[in-house]
């Protein structure tokens, strides 16, 4: 029997209720030790009419579910909840500092326990959204995906601080280039 990956062991140790109360069992797991311990664990249940997947991508953990009607149509639990509650998507970062702040917040709360609790606390809503209401949920997820793509392609003006920094860099390089350009111009005039 193949050895269990550390991620499977972590899920089994920290989430016994998932196996005991909800009847989930590991149906697939892959562990990529060369990719900073990235892993995939798929779970199926005879009690819960959903498939559950945990992803560990460079220490960032997320939970995904798929309906039994389309077992490979995985969607993040938080995105499904956002769609069925009609919540607004996360705001786009304004600048790199904002991006790093958002990234570190997400990384700090992205643990197996937090993602599993999100799944458990919203299980009835997820079963309904991924079961009888799957066509509507799928359509809403696709619509929101398109909105995210459009927003990411929309250019935004540079923040004031970034614009000032670009101006300062240009001034520094302009001074360095002024002397060779002036010498080349003088040499061209003299050679005529």
CA–CA distance, 93 with 83 (Å, rounded to integer):
21
Residue 46 lies in a domain: yes
**Residue 148 shares a structural domain with residue 185:** no
**Residue 145 shares a structural domain with residue 172:** no
Note the pLDDT tens digit of each residue in 123-159. Answer: 999 999 999 999 999 999 999 989 888 887 877 665 5
Tell me how many domains the chain contains: 2
Residue 1 lies in a domain: no
List, as one string, the DSSP characters of 73-112.
--EEHHHHHHHHHTPPPPPPPSSHHHHHHHHHHHHHH--H
CA–CA distance, 174 with 183 (Å, rounded to integer):
14
CA–CA distance, 11 with 18 (Å, rounded to integer):
9
Residue 124 lies in a domain: yes
Note the pLDDT tens digit of each residue in 12-37. Answer: 999 999 999 999 999 999 988 776 77
Residue 161 has pLDDT above 70, yes or no: no
Residue 1 has pLDDT above 50, yes or no: no
**Residue 85 shares a structural domain with residue 121:** yes
CA within 13 Å, CB half, 110:
20
pTM: 0.71
Does residue 41 contact residue 29 with C-beta atoms inside 8 Å? yes
**Residue 145 shares a structural domain with residue 166:** no
Note the pLDDT tens digit of each residue in 38-95. Answer: 889 999 999 999 999 999 887 788 899 999 999 999 999 989 998 988 876 665 566 6
**Residue 107 shares a structural domain with residue 177:** no
**Residue 106 shares a structural domain with residue 192:** no
**Domain housing 172:** 161-192
- 85, 68, 61: which is closest to 144 by C-alpha? 85
Residue 178 has pLDDT above 60, yes or no: yes
Confidence band, pLDDT 50/70/90 cuts, at residue 120: very high
CA–CA distance, 112 with 60 (Å, rounded to integer):
9
**Residue 61 shares a structural domain with residue 137:** yes
**Residue 123 shares a structural domain with residue 175:** no
Given this model, what pLDDT does residue 43 score?
95
**Residue 128 shares a structural domain with residue 178:** no
Given this model, what pLDDT does residue 52 score?
95
**Residue 72 shares a structural domain with residue 133:** yes
Confidence band, pLDDT 50/70/90 cuts, at residue 191: confident
Given this model, what pLDDT does residue 93 score?
61
**Residue 150 shares a structural domain with residue 171:** no
**Residue 120 shares a structural domain with residue 190:** no
């Amino acid at each position: 029997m193949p050895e269990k990956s550390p991620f499977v062991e972590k899920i089994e140790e920290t989430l016994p209720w998932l196996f005991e109360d909800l009847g989930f069992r590991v149906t697939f797991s892959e562990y990529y030790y060369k990719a900073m311990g990235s892993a995939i664990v798929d779970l199926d249940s005879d009690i819960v009419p959903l498939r559950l997947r945990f992803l560990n991508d460079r220490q960032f953990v997320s939970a995904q579910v798929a309906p039994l009607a389309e077992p490979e149509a995985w969607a993040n639990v938080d995105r499904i909840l956002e769609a069925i509650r009609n919540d607004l998507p996360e705001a786009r970062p304004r600048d790199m500092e904002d991006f790093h702040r958002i990234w570190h917040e997400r990384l700090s709360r992205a643990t197996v326990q937090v993602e599993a609790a999100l799944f458990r606390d919203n299980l009835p809503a997820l079963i309904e959204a991924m079961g009888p209401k799957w066509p509507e949920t799928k359509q809403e997820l696709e619509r929101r995906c398109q909105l995210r793509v459009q927003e990411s392609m929309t250019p935004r003006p540079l923040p004031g601080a970034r614009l000032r920094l670009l101006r300062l860099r240009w001034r520094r390089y302009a001074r360095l280039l002024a002397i060779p350009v002036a010498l080349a111009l003088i040499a061209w005039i003299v050679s005529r």
